[in-house]
Amino acid sequence: MRAISVKQPWAYLLCAGIKDIENRTWRLPEKMNGERVLIHASGGPLMPIAGHYGHLFDHPQYETLRVKMGLDFFNKELHTSAIIGSVVFTDCVINHPSAWAEKTEVLADESGLPYYGNPIYNWVSSYPILFDKPILNVKGRLSFWNYPNIGCGPDEEGVQTCNCQLAVDERFQVVALGYEYRCRYCGGKWYK
Ligand SMILES: [Zn+2]
């Protein structure tokens, strides 16, 4: 399954459904629009957010965190070098109204026509999943990359079925949806 590396605490906030925008200097590739993507938390060991990371958030972002997660968030230990969840990027715009969207300055050329100086693309993040057990000790890469141990493929009836190769306890991997079971990591069907 395709993955993208994101620094903490942004990786956690994406998967927890708090941060609804991923900011990049490049446009979301069309073929990745609507595809579920693994979120890999990059970087070295990170201390608790308390004190050290408060400065990362502006006031509207801080308020979102306080209301949605409570201030306990600032005492969390966040995994790095790990695949911690997945999201679906569903749009790519400039100057999205979200508090998490980095804004692009609109300039004017000599004839007064507006243009974007250095565009920051706001990728809209939807349908977030935070894994109960992250996949640890995974090295990140640039751009979109393939993580081969998570994925699904069609069975003989064409149903997308889990092909994950993970050393994870079944009770963390499998989720019951009505009468059927699904893999929390790849989204594929799971046969007991
Ligand atoms: Zn799976």
The pLDDT profile of the chain, 192 residues, written as one tens digit per residue, is 999 999 988 999 999 999 999 999 999 999 999 999 999 999 765 555 555 566 778 888 888 888 888 777 777 778 999 999 999 999 999 999 999 999 999 999 899 998 988 899 999 999 999 998 999 999 998 899 999 999 999 999 999 999 999 988 888 899 998 889 999 999 999 986
CA distance between the termini of the chain = 22
Number of domains in the chain: 2
Q: Are residues 96 and 72 in the same domain?
A: yes
Q: Are residues 23 and 85 in the same domain?
A: yes
C-alpha of residue 150 to centroid of ligand 1, in Å: 6
Q: Are residues 65 and 8 in the same domain?
A: yes
Measure the CA–CA gap between 74 and 159, rounded to whole angstroms: 42
Asked whether the whole model's pTM tops 0.75, one would answer yes
Q: Which domain holds residue 97?
A: 2-147
Q: Are residues 41 and 109 in the same domain?
A: yes
C-alpha of residue 5 to centroid of ligand 1, in Å: 20
C-alpha of residue 183 to centroid of ligand 1, in Å: 4
Q: Are residues 49 and 97 in the same domain?
A: yes
Q: Are residues 139 and 157 in the same domain?
A: no
CB 147 within 8 A of CB 38: yes
C-alpha of residue 192 to centroid of ligand 1, in Å: 13
Residues in the 5 Å CB sphere of ion ligand 1: 162, 164, 183, 185-186, 188
Q: Are residues 93 and 142 in the same domain?
A: yes
Q: Are residues 152 and 85 in the same domain?
A: no
C-alpha of residue 160 to centroid of ligand 1, in Å: 10
Q: Are residues 135 and 190 in the same domain?
A: no
C-alpha of residue 141 to centroid of ligand 1, in Å: 22
C-alpha of residue 45 to centroid of ligand 1, in Å: 27
C-alpha of residue 177 to centroid of ligand 1, in Å: 15
C-alpha of residue 81 to centroid of ligand 1, in Å: 20
C-alpha of residue 118 to centroid of ligand 1, in Å: 39
Q: Are residues 51 and 118 in the same domain?
A: yes
C-alpha of residue 163 to centroid of ligand 1, in Å: 5
